[in-house]
A = this chain, B = another copy of it.
Amino acid sequence: MLTVFGSTALDTIRTPTKVVKSVLGGAATFAAISASYFLKPGLIAVVGKDFPQKYYDILSKYLDLSGLTIDDGKTFHYDGSYDETLSTRTTLKTDLNVLANFKPKVPEEYKKSEYVYLANNDPEQNVALIKEFDKIKFSMCDTIEFWIAHKKLSVIKMIKEVDAVVINDEEAKLLTKEHNLIKCAKKIMNWGAKYVAIKKGEHGSLLFYNDVIFPSVAFSLEDIVDPTGAGDSFAGAMIGYLASKNTTNLATIKKAVIYGNVLGSFAVEKYGLDGILNLNNSQITKRVNQYEKMIRF
């Protein structure tokens, strides 16, 4: 079983061509739904009483929701604006709302999860939460600039507790104070993670394990409309694939990274979560095959 812990949000996304308001988002939502193409994950998250029924219905279609808390108050709301290159996002507003005082609880039936993904939460909360799982085979976390800036030592402690870190390139540099991504990854592995996957957006990703470096390109796309959630979709597909295979050897993890690239590519093709909704396995398999053909020489 796979458990995903993290934020479910209402996102306002502003791109040069379109603004979408209060649409379903959040790191855990993207990751869990992306993972759902490989097995049905459990979600530990909180939303407010204002959370629209239609979004609840979407979540319940893809995920086990016994870990979802509905609290008094409003749902976490993020508002961000992309520049014309779609590569730089400015945060306009972050209303934590019910997320601010959320005390996550692990449902009894989730505690046997062998795969756990900790999305971009408070690292201290992540460390406390992961201890409630007693059969973990593979745990993975991501982190963001906010935690690196405010709780860097806790981020490093969290890294000790997980098998793998997925992190984007700029955050990896910020966290490690290194410029070269190999040096970044080595530092993170020295802190205790066995695997590091550095996400580079349109440039793909780099997976590290001991002395192995596995660089992979992104799936090339001409029409990108909204990069929101691409990295979370990458991570979700990665751990979802591993959980579905129930194997964590290097060859399987490399393949999981390819699925990560592919789900990330679906995510950016539509606004918000739409890119990874209503996919079917043959679409995913087809794109993995296209990917393999694309890079062959």
Contacts and interface: CB of A to CB of B under 8 A. Distances in A.
Interface of A: 84-87, 179-183, 186, 200, 202-204, 206, 213-218, 220-224, 251, 254-255, 257-258, 294-295, 297
A220 B224 contact: no
Give the oligomeric copy count.
Answer: 2
A215 B217 contact: yes
Given A203-B200, A203-B203, A180 B217 contact: no
Which of A86, A202, A251 has the most C-beta atoms of chain B within 10 angstroms of its own C-beta? A202
Contacts of A85: 179
Contacts of A251: 297
Contacts of A254: 297
Which of A179, A224, A258 has the most C-beta atoms of chain B within 10 angstroms of its own C-beta? A179
A180 to B, nearest CB: 6
A180 B224 contact: yes
Given A180-B222, A204-B217, 8 more contacts: A86-B179, A180-B224, A204-B215, A213-B294, A214-B294, A215-B217, A215-B294, A257-B297
